[in-house]
Amino acid sequence: MNTWQDKEEFKKIFTVKAHILWEKELQDLTPNEVYQTVAYMVRDLVSEDWIRTNQIYAEEKAKQVYYFSIEFLLGRLLQSNLIGVGMEDVCRAGLKDLGWDLDKIIPEERDPGLGNGGLGRLAACFIDSLAALQLPGHGCSIRYQYGLFNQRIIDDQQVELPDNWLVNGFPWEVKKVDKAVNVRFGGNAYMRPDGEGNLECVYEKYSSVRAVPYDVPVIGYHNHTVNTLRLWRAEYSREDMYRELSMGDRHRAFRYKNSVQLISRFLYPEDSTEEGRKLRLMQEYFMVSAGLQSIVRYYKKKIKESMYDFDHYIALHINDTHPALIIPELMRILMDEEGMNWEDAWKVTVRSVAYTNHTVLPEAMEKWSIPMFKELLPRIYLIVDEINRRWLKEVRKRYPGNEDMARNVAILWDGQVHMAHLAVLGSHSVNGVAEIHSQILKDSTLHQFYTCFPARFSNKTNGISHRRWLIQSNPQLADLLDDTIGTDWRRDPRRLLDLKGYSSDGSFLEQLGQVKKTRKEIMADYIKKKYAMTVDTSSIFDVQIKRIHLYKRQLLNILHVMHLYYFLRDNPKVQITPRTFLFGGKAAASYGEAKQTIRLINVVARMVNTDRRVSKQMQVLFLENYNVSLGQILFPAADVSEQISTAGKEASGTGNMKFMMNGAITLGTMDGANVEIHREVGDDNCVIFGLRANEVMDYYIHGGYSAWNMYGQDENIRQVMNSLVDGSLGYGETFDMLYESLLDRNDEYFVLKDFEPYCKAQVEIANRYHDRRHWLHSSAINIAHSGYFSSDRTIMQYANDIWHLRKMIH
Ligand code: TH1
């Protein structure tokens, strides 16, 4: 691996590089120019390894996985890449000599926010683990010109601002003009006899979009592996533009240009809900077709094996259903371009593709209207129609007269294309992302498919990169771990278990307490600078950060905050352990209830923070624009991790794991990966409350839950509910939509049902925190067991059980 020998060499190279890039003297460089200079220097370090990695994969014909995801929520790359090449300290020292502070340079990088939340961040952790484990695997996605919107809070409410993250360029990417491909949309497709007794497809009058790849290096951890994240950008073809212009219709020509450029302009800001826009369908096909065409071209040019053996060398993974069109697209290429028959093409396709499901919320299941689908993708529609026809024929033969069965597994039904059904049928592997979630898939969401293909289903519990979420974001804790158990855990996070031997060691626990204190002070400084607010660092930092969604129940949290406030206000003699309630998260712009929840949190925060009677005992703050970078400050500072979704709704959650790894105690329901966290640490080291998934399910199936009864029976619920609509909050503000969802719409997510158990769980948290030594012990146990939640473990499971990859040492 290329490195900088020492800080002297760093400074020499930096000087030359900066002069070439900026034609300036060093003292005139802006911080952003310093950032870019270092970024390009890191790229220079890895460029040989990047080329070499690809060479080795091709020479050895290693099986490679392509991880297709409509989102990759990378976060900033400078520090993680410096850590990857082992050069953070040299760089820091060199910059210091030249008069710059690396910690002030790092924030110059715009946070690449090409994702909404957990699904996109999971994809980023996965490619990080692939490279760290020296596995041949690459990411494939879209180079959105605008990432997820920037959130501002104005007059208590969320305002969405465009995230023009590419303004100063993105030094990590390499545009590969020679690797561009064309993706076709619209036109007509039909079958006709080919003269040899078979049918062939004619596809005509389509319009072409040029897909240009931008490659980003994915740098392993202290090894020579550099994999690739390939991001596609849509460009109009100049020829098509000139042809239109030459035909005299300038408006048509510019409409064409604009419509093409729109394809890679915005990331859809929806999380866990279906966004039924035509442009989104175009994005999905654009990504899949461009990615697959380039894979097939590479396969033929470099691997040079038969297309019938494609699946021996290539694994295609789809992150939720957004890339599920890879199934008919591969069928199209194998049949229309490689001349394979249907049966053989289907075999190769199913053996190549594997699918991960990330949600069981019905509103998040992707469905497209058939007329729109057909118009946009006529050739792909013919293939999907044929897949469906053959499949239903088989189902009706196997289950004669059982139309329920047919309905539950059909790909085309009720005028819609059901993407999850297509994904299950066209894959050899289907997995959920936590045990309870995988069980729900088998028992209900995909039950009929499970009876047809039981062997396809498995669980792969999510994980997180301990490199980003511990080594990088919490160096204080990482150093303490090194001093206590040695450094092996950095390569093998399961070794964190060694910490159990110190979980009752008084001097270790004191140091652990000191680290947490330091991280809370860093958080407090951020809050002081940004909000001119002083938070009490000896208070319990109680944090809920995630997308705002009714099922995640930020409402439950804030209703408890309101209850606690009323209680303290009315009982001035009561002393509690002081609390700081921190919230963060974005709401989809069109999600009224979520946006009203943000306003409620902000209104309550002002009421609490300005009331001198209680503000020594509790404070509340909504942190603006939660993203990866803010997460890196928040997770290390948290004492309590709020994981309070309605049981059965959160497929996994991954923030829960980031908190745990940084020593926070989980306050949660038996949902998603909380179940496994609870199993790892036991009742003593987390606080579980509320309805279980089966109880929630029973209420949905048999009824018997009345939100109004809860309201009638519980005085505390009445008090907080009334205040939502009686004008007693803020300046007479009301929250009708939230009130209605809780009472008139019968509280779909059981907020009121779980209210009292949640309040009790919060008392339990306070009691435990009171015993500092016991709390720190729990904190240590959580860190020790967090190694299980490293995405390295998750990726090894995918690599062994689904992709069949082998480690490539070089
Ligand atoms: C999330 C799940 O809600 C979360 O529980 C899980 O930990 C995470 O995926 C990673 O597995 C999902 N995000 C999305 C985003 C879209 C559609 C469905 C889901 S599920 C756009």
Per DSSP, 664 falls in state P
Q: Which residues pair with 279 in a beta bridge?
A: none
Ligand 1 centroid to 115 CA: how many Å?
11
**Cα Rg for the chain, rounded, in angstroms?**
27
Q: d(Cα 545, Cα 653) in Å, to the nearest integer?
A: 11
Name the residue of 67, 68, 271, 644 whose CB sits within 8 Å of the most ligand 1 atoms, as the mutation to test its pocket: 271
Ligand 1 centroid to 2 CA: how many Å?
38
pLDDT tens-digit map of 262-321: 999 999 988 787 788 999 999 999 999 999 999 999 999 999 999 999 999 999 999 999
Q: What size, in residues, is the chain?
A: 810
Quote the percentage of the chain above a pLDDT of 70.
100
Instruction: Return mean pLDDT, the chain.
Output: 97
- Ligand 1 atom 9, closest CA: 119
Rounded to 10 degrees, what is the CA torsion of 23, 27, 33, 36?
90
254 has pLDDT over 90: no
Q: Which residues pair with 150 in a beta bridge?
A: 161
State which ligand 1 atom lies nearest to the alpha carbon of 121: 10
The lowest-confidence range among 206-210, 477-481, 621-625, 780-784 is: 206-210
State which ligand 1 atom lies nearest to the alpha carbon of 358: 20
DSSP code per residue over 47-114: HHHHHHHHHHHHHTT--EEEEE-S-B-----HHHHHHHTT-HHHHHHHHHHTT--HHHHGGGS----B
Q: Provide the pLDDT for residue 310.
A: 98
Ligand 1 centroid to 738 CA: how many Å?
23
State which ligand 1 atom lies nearest to the alpha carbon of 651: 5
Name the residue of 272, 590, 644, 789 whose CB sits within 8 Å of the most ligand 1 atoms, as the mutation to test its pocket: 272
Q: Provide the pLDDT for residue 245.
A: 80
| Span 178-194, average pLDDT | 96
21 has pLDDT over 70: yes
Q: In sequence order, what are the residues at sequence separation of 6 or more whose Cβ sits closer than 8 angstroms to the Cβ of residue 321?
A: 355, 357, 365, 366, 419, 420, 422, 423
> For 600, phi and psi rounded to 5 degrees?
-60, -45
Give which of 126, 110, 106 is closest to 118, Cα–Cα. 126
CA atoms within 13 A on the CB side of 253: 14
- Ligand 1 atom 10, closest CA: 119
77 has pLDDT over 90: yes
Q: Any residues with Cβ below 6 Å from ligand 1, and which?
A: 116-119, 122, 270-272, 320, 358-359, 364, 433, 462, 650-654, 672
Q: d(Cα 592, Cα 625) in Å, to the nearest integer?
A: 18
State which ligand 1 atom lies nearest to the alpha carbon of 117: 13
Ligand 1 centroid to 359 CA: how many Å?
6
Q: Name the pLDDT band for 250 (thresholds 50, 70, 90).
A: confident
Q: Name the pLDDT band for 774 (thresholds 50, 70, 90).
A: very high
- Ligand 1 atom 19, closest CA: 272
Please check whether residue 152 is in contact with residue 159, taking contact to mean a CB–CB distance below 8 angstroms: yes
State which ligand 1 atom lies nearest to the alpha carbon of 268: 21
Name the residue of 359, 552, 657 whose CB sits within 8 Å of the most ligand 1 atoms, as the mutation to test its pocket: 359
What stretches of 181-313 adopt beta strand conformation (E)? 181-185, 188-193, 199-204, 207-219, 226-235
Name the residue of 358, 435, 674 whose CB sits within 8 Å of the most ligand 1 atoms, as the mutation to test its pocket: 358
709 has pLDDT over 80: yes
Q: d(Cα 449, Cα 181) in Å, to the nearest integer?
A: 36
Ligand 1 centroid to 471 CA: how many Å?
25
Q: d(Cα 594, Cα 737) in Å, to the nearest integer?
A: 10
From the options 3.50.50.60, 1.20.140.10, 3.40.50.1980, 3.40.50.2000, give the CATH code of 519-795.
Answer: 3.40.50.2000
What dotted CATH number matches 61-76+111-359?
3.40.50.2000
Letter string b/e over residues 754-790, b meaning 16 or more CB atoms within 10 A of that residue's CB: bbbebbebbeebbebbeeeeebbbbbbbbbbbbbbbb
Give which of 283, 269, 271, 449 is closest to 358, Cα–Cα. 271
- Ligand 1 atom 13, closest CA: 119
pLDDT tens-digit map of 312-362: 999 999 999 999 999 999 999 999 999 999 999 999 999 999 999 999 999
State which ligand 1 atom lies nearest to the alpha carbon of 650: 5
Q: d(Cα 450, Cα 457) in Å, to the nearest integer?
A: 7
Run of H or E including 151: strand 150-154
What strands lie across the sheet with 412-413, from one edge to the other?
Answer: 367-369, 416-418, 412-413
CA angle 419, 261, 627 (to 5 degrees): 70
Q: Which amino acid is at 22?
A: W
Run of H or E including 242: helix 238-246
| Span 545-564, average pLDDT | 98
Q: Which residues pair with 204 in a beta bridge?
A: 188
Q: What ranges do the domains of the chain cover? A: 61-76+111-359, 519-795
State which ligand 1 atom lies nearest to the alpha carbon of 366: 17
- Ligand 1 atom 18, closest CA: 272
Ligand 1 centroid to 361 CA: how many Å?
10
State which ligand 1 atom lies nearest to the alpha carbon of 273: 17
Q: Name the pLDDT band for 256 (thresholds 50, 70, 90).
A: confident
Q: Name the pLDDT band for 2 (thresholds 50, 70, 90).
A: confident
- Please return the burial class of 697, using the count of CB atoms within 10 Å of its CB with bins 0-12, 13-18 and 19+: middle
> Catalytic amino acids?
358, 546-547, 552, 654, 658
803 has pLDDT over 90: yes
Ligand 1 centroid to 409 CA: how many Å?
22
Please check whether residue 85 is in contact with residue 157, taking contact to mean a CB–CB distance below 8 angstroms: no
- Please return the burial class of 483, using the count of CB atoms within 10 Å of its CB with bins 0-12, 13-18 and 19+: exposed
Model ipTM value: 0.98
Ligand 1 centroid to 240 CA: how many Å?
38
pLDDT tens-digit map of 458-481: 999 999 999 999 999 999 999 999
Q: Provide the pLDDT for residue 255.
A: 86
Ligand 1 centroid to 586 CA: how many Å?
14
3-state helix, strand, coil in the chain (%, to 5): 55, 15, 30
Q: Name the pLDDT band for 1 (thresholds 50, 70, 90).
A: low
Q: How far apart are the first and last CA of the chain?
A: 10
735 has pLDDT over 70: yes
Ligand 1 centroid to 166 CA: how many Å?
26
Q: d(Cα 588, Cα 594) in Å, to the nearest integer?
A: 7
CA angle 41, 45, 49 (to 5 degrees): 150
Q: d(Cα 678, Cα 666) in Å, to the nearest integer?
A: 9
| Span 231-240, average pLDDT | 89
Per DSSP, 212 falls in state E
Q: Provide the pLDDT for residue 112.
A: 95
Ligand 1 centroid to 521 CA: how many Å?
32
